[in-house]
Structure 1
């Protein structure tokens, strides 16, 4: 019998009520009153004074969803807790968020490939009470096309040195915050330059990350990603990709990568939770070949993760 993947076009929304330590109901066994509740995304009751909306004051995570399960959810929840700590937000109740994600996936009602976005904000201005919700929707149609055909990128200066996280921690480099206006502006600039996406560089000449993805470069039988000590986000998908690559017998590592090393790379990818591993076919004016064997094997693994 041939299995059929069902994909729902109707998104799902769950609000997290008991979301952080020190707020809402105390930690308790999960029976009786639920620590979260479903809502209608078509008439979302989000307050217009929420600081996540008015100031981008909050953090988020986006996890892939497949076969009714979130992918790499432990890594995403751990990273959300780290981002919250950098923003001086109360520690999130990890187990409540985990259950809320599964509730939203069940409300979505699909076994296809999608995404779960976890939003955690400082809350309504003046209340001091944080807010949070989980939103699940289907993968965009261009996802499979990008994984197959690749994307073009341009190198764009981030405007900071590679040591910015150490010299200026208040700039929140390395936290996944809701303040994504600069990331979106980066994508628009890349498109104005005739490319699909971008890779940030530091002012002192190192490769960093994409506005929405981690960078992986292949040099022979070794795969390298820029180190997170340069104020870039620790990639959950990049970590899973390295686990798979090591299992195939390749070497992996994280370090500072000079901008000029891009020209010596045999292949390159931008990797993220929903798009998975997207091969880079051109960086600035230099064409790059798609490593089809690694790309196809890596995406087969990433798309089928159930944890």
Structure 2
């Protein structure tokens, strides 16, 4: 049986020979960033937001302070977007396979949406600090889901159920040891992570919580979990990209209400929108668990619609992006 120290390797044994990727994306000039912020500030000064004091779900009295606090936490809970530079046995494709499997487990056990996001965040932050062999990669994933479920679920699956999830590829003791190691490496910082779902609820106020837009955007933001390029993107921006892409796919616009509630202009969201459409248009992407999940009537067959739209519009979006550069 592996000891705690032997279960995963320590990151300081590896020398990183690649320049780190900037943490926050997109990379824009100081002048363009200033212009973006100015546009948002102008809209926030003039936009008339109708606050419903009786809407207890949005706790309007405290909402502004809550989201300011969440914004302060965002960057601190982001992984190193270039962590594969310290990994010797795993690749981004293997990470995608792991996340796809976590999506299947999450769906199979009917866990809450936040559980999935916390689990993937734990995986990425842990892999940013420890090197892991290919044989132990799934152990990282199942351990992350085990921890996330404890935080979010009312009735979390037992450790024995997690052993069953891996088809007994790992023992009960290995998962419990993995839990100790992961929490120690992350300094027990788990609950501070705020997923895009929280931000999406805020942005949805701009269209009065339209069910089609929200359902489609839920699918779109889950797609970003599979794409390592979005590791550099803050959760608030992922939520905005998902909502913006959903609006475009459904023929809507990104009006002042959306800018006000999201904090992002349309021009700022276009690069992320392009990445998302590229991912959806990939060959065989329909085989991913997230696509099969959202192809169900319960989710308005959102994945089928989004993939078809992406394949029809990807070329014109590339031209649109080039015109902005």
Q: TM-score, normalised by structure 1?
A: 0.28
Point out the structure with the larger helix share: 2
Point out the structure with the larger strand share: 1
